[in-house]
Amino acid sequence: MDYLNALATNPKYHDVLTILKGFRNGVVYGAKVRFPHALVMTILFKTGSVQSKAKGILKATKQHALNLGKFATIYKTLMLVQKKLNGGKEASIHPFLAGIVGGYYVFGENNSINQQIILYLFSRVVLALVKVPVRKQIIEAPKNTYPVFAAVVWGLVMWLFRHETDTVQPSLRASMQYIYRDSDSWNSLKTLIWHNK
């Protein structure tokens, strides 16, 4: 055990061991995030036997965890390789290139887990990109930057839902259907107030 501890703390192996720890942390974080989400969504919305529900929860958790672990491994490996090829210095473009490769190979398959992760990231990226010009003092921040951003996002999603419904992500489309289209009709006080249909 002392030998393994000395190996783990040896600065000579630090860069390579960051890849191992990145994989570990990706898997752990993915499991922590996906398991409770899958559990709640399954309880609320899925039908079937307890066994099929449990399998679905475990499958979603495993996929999310392994995808984050694989991505971290690819990203950290490519960051290390690029740094070595660049004389031991990280260039500004390196994270972007490593992210593109990892994103393509790990999250390129169009499935529900990957869609949720990509949509989550996309929303955070767009929000961050809105802040970059202000932060870099390229433009002066108007008082209403965030309200304008919120207004444009809501305007776009409502237009897409109204005129290009099939392009909207299925779970968002379902919630919007419930709120905005199902509220257009009822046939009694019961279906107006207590029940949707």
> Which two three-digit tokens encode residue 11?
């600065």
What integer pLDDT is reported at residue 194 of this predicted model? 85
- List, in order, residues 6 or more apart from 86 with CB less than 8 Å away: 94
**37-72 tens-digit pLDDT:** 999 999 988 899 999 999 999 999 999 999 999 999
- Do 20 and 9 touch, CB atoms closer than 8 A? no
- Do 127 and 153 touch, CB atoms closer than 8 A? no
pTM score of the predicted model:
0.79
**131-150 tens-digit pLDDT:** 777 777 776 666 667 778 88
Q: Is the pLDDT of residue 181 over 70?
A: yes
Rounded distance, CA 10 to CA 180, Å? 60
Shortest CA distance to 68 belongs to which of 96, 30, 34, 97?
A: 30
What integer pLDDT is reported at residue 12 of this predicted model? 94
Q: What percent of the chain has pLDDT over 70?
A: 96
What integer pLDDT is reported at residue 30 of this predicted model? 95
Rounded distance, CA 77 to CA 74, Å? 5
CA 173 to chain centre: 18
- List, in order, residues 6 or more apart from 113 with CB less than 8 Å away: 34, 60, 63, 64, 67
- Do 78 and 101 touch, CB atoms closer than 8 A? yes
Rounded distance, CA 104 to CA 71, Å? 10
